[in-house]
C-alpha cells in the first residue's frame, strides 16, 4: 500500500498573528537533538508499517527551511532506506522567504528536496506588515526567483480576503503573483483561528474581515484569474497546471495512508487490517523526551470506526474538484458512498446545483465548494 510521509518542524523565527499551526519560537534550538528524535521516530514508525511504496515526503511546519540541511538530507536518506521510494517521489519543503532561508535553497535541493512551497502571503509591504511577516514583497519575489532556478517544482502561498481588501486590488495582486508562478499555487482565504492574535483583534472589532458576499466574489475572482493562465482549482484553495497538483496533499484529500512524525503530527495508517488515527505530543521538548523514552511521541492512537472513515473520506474528498470515486470510497471505508450521505439533503443539493452525482463520482460543484463548510455537516451522515 502506498504511503505519504509528513515530517513536522515546529519552530519559527516569530509567531504570525493569524497562525494556529503547531509552531514555537525559541532562543536556541537543539538541532542535533531534534534531528535524532525525528530519525528515531521515523525508524519506529517504519518498523511497524513495513516496506510501503513511498510516494511523497512533506516537510511542514513551523518553518522547515530553518532546519539544518544535513538534517533534511539524513531524514530523506532514512525514509528512502526504510521504505520503497517511488521513482517519481515528491519531496516538498515549506520555506519562508527571508534571505537567511533562501541562501540555503541549493543545499536543500542537494539534500533531495524536489519541490518548494514558499509562504509569500502577500505582495505588498503594508499587507505583509499587517500579517506580521518578517519579509518584504521584494524579498519574496527574490526568493521566488532563486527557488525557480533551484527546484524542479515550486508552489507558493498567498492569503486573501484580508481586512479592507477590494476585489480589484486582489485581482491586481494575483495577476502579479500568477506571472511569478510555476506549476502550483495555494491561495487561502484568511480565517480567524482560536487563540491567535488576530482572534483577539477580531473580537474587539479592530480587525474586520470582508463580508460573506465580498468573500465569495474574491473566491470567484481567484478561480477566474488562475484559470486565465492555465492553473485549475483542483481543490478549494489549491491551483495547478495539469500534472502539477501537490501529490502529498492529494493523499490527504483522497484519504490515502499517511504517516506523520514530529511534534503534533497527525497520521492515518493501515496497520493489521485497521486504519489507525495517530496524534503526537504537540510540545516539542516533551515530544522529544517521549521519543527518547518510548521510541515515539504518540499521545493518541485509535482505530477509526467504519462510519467515521466514511465521514472523514467524504469531508476530505469533496474538497477536490474531481470529488469522491465511489468504487475507491467503498473499498477504502467499507461503506457504500450513497449510504454515507443523507439522501434527502443530497437530492436537494443536486437540485440547488451544489453537488453532482455521476455514475462513478460524487462531487461538489464550484458553487458547492464555496459553501462546503455549511453543506458538509448536513450532507454527511
Ligand atoms: C505552516 S504555514 C507555511 C509555512 C511557513 N512557515 C510560512 O509561514 O511561510 C502554511 C500556510 O498556511 C496558511 N495559513 C496559516 N494560517 C492561516 C490563516 N489563519 N488563514 C489563512 N491561511 C493561513 C499560510 O498561507 C501559510 O503559508
Ligand atoms: S505562518 Fe508560518 S512562519 Fe508564521 S507562525 Fe505560522 S508556521 Fe510560523
In this prediction, the residues of the chain whose per-residue pLDDT falls under 50 are none
65 lines ligand 2 (CB under 6 A): no
| Closest atom, ligand 1, to C-alpha of 97 | 9
Report the DSSP beta bridge partners of residue 90: 56
d(CA 196, CA 24): 13
Residue 179: burial class (beta carbons within 10 Å; 0-12, 13-18, 19+): exposed
Sheet of 361-364: strands edge to edge?
A: 324-325, 361-364, 355-357
pLDDT of residue 30: 95
Q: Cβ neighbours of residue 262 under 8 Å, at least 6 residues apart?
A: 6, 7, 8, 9, 10, 38, 41, 280, 287
Residue 44 alpha carbon to ligand 1 centre in Å: 29
* Total residues belonging to the chain: 381
pLDDT of residue 370: 87
d(CA 67, CA 92): 14
Grid-cell match 483561528, residue found: 193
16 lines ligand 2 (CB under 6 A): yes
333 lines ligand 2 (CB under 6 A): no
pLDDT of residue 381: 86
State CA 9 to chain mean position distance. 14
d(CA 83, CA 52): 5
Q: Cβ neighbours of residue 164 under 8 Å, at least 6 residues apart?
A: 208
Three-state DSSP class for 298?
strand
Residue whose CA is closest, atom 26 of ligand 1?
119
289 lines ligand 1 (CB under 6 A): no
Q: How many helices (H) and strands (E) does the chain have?
A: 17, 15
Amino acid at each position: 500500500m502506498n504511503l505519504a510521509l509528513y515530517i513536522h518542524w515546529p519552530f519559527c523565527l516569530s509567531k504570525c498573528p493569524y497562525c494556529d499551526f503547531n509552531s514555537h519560537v525559541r532562543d536556541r534550538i537543539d538541532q542535533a537533538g531534534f534531528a535524532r528524535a525525528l530519525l528515531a521516530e521515523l525508524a519506529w514508525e517504519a518498523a511497524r508499517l513495513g516496506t510501503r511504496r513511498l510516494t511523497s515526503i512533506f516537510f511542514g511546519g513551523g518553518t522547515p527551511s530553518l532546519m539544518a540541511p544535513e538534517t533534511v538530507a539524513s531524514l530523506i536518506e532514512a525514509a528512502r532506506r526504510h521504505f520503497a521510494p517511488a521513482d517519481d517521489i515528491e519531496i516538498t519543503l515549506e520555506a519562508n522567504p527571508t534571505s537567511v532561508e533562501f541562501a540555503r535553497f541549493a543545499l536543500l535541493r542537494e539534500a533531495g528536496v524536489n519541490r518548494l512551497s514558499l509562504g509569500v502571503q502577500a505582495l505588498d509591504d503594508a499587507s505583509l506588515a499587517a500579517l506580521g511577516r518578517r519579509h518584504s514583497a521584494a524579498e519574496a519575489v527574490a526568493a521566488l526567483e532563486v527557488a525557480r532556478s533551484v527546484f524542479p517544482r515550486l508552489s507558493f502561498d498567498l492569503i486573501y480576503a484580508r481586512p479592507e481588501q477590494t476585489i480589484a486590488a486582489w485581482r491586481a495582486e494575483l495577476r502579479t503573483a500568477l506571472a511569478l508562478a510555476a506549476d502550483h499555487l495555494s491561495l487561502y482565504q484568511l480565517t480567524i483561528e482560536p487563540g491567535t492574535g488576530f482572534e483577539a483583534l477580531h473580537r474587539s472589532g479592530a480587525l474586520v474581515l470582508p463580508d460573506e458576499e465580498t468573500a465569495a466574489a474574491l473566491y470567484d475572482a481567484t478561480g477566474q484569474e488562475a484559470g486565465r493562465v492555465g492553473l485549475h482549482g483542483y481543490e478549494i484553495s489549491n491551483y495547478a497546471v495539469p500534472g502539477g497538483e501537490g501529490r502529498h496533499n492529494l493523499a490527504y484529500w483522497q484519504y490515502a495512508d499517511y504517516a506523520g512524525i514530529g511534534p503534533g503530527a497527525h497520521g492515518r495508517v493501515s496497520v493489521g487490517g485497521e486504519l489507525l488515527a495517530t496524534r503526537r505530543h504537540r510540545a516539542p521538548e516533551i515530544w522529544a523526551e517521549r521519543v527518547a523514552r518510548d521510541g515515539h511521541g504518540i499521545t493518541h492512537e485509535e482505530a477509526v470506526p467504519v462510519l467515521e472513515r466514511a465521514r472523514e473520506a467524504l469531508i476530505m474528498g469533496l474538497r477536490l474538484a474531481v470529488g469522491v470515486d465511489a468504487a475507491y470510497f467503498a473499498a477504502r471505508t467499507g461503506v457504500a458512498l450513497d449510504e454515507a450521505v443523507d439522501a434527502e439533503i443530497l437530492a436537494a443539493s443536486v437540485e440547488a446545483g451544489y453537488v453532482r452525482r455521476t455514475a462513478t463520482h460524487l462531487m461538489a460543484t464550484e458553487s458547492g465548494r464555496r459553501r462546503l463548510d455549511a453543506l458538509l455537516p448536513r450532507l454527511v451522515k
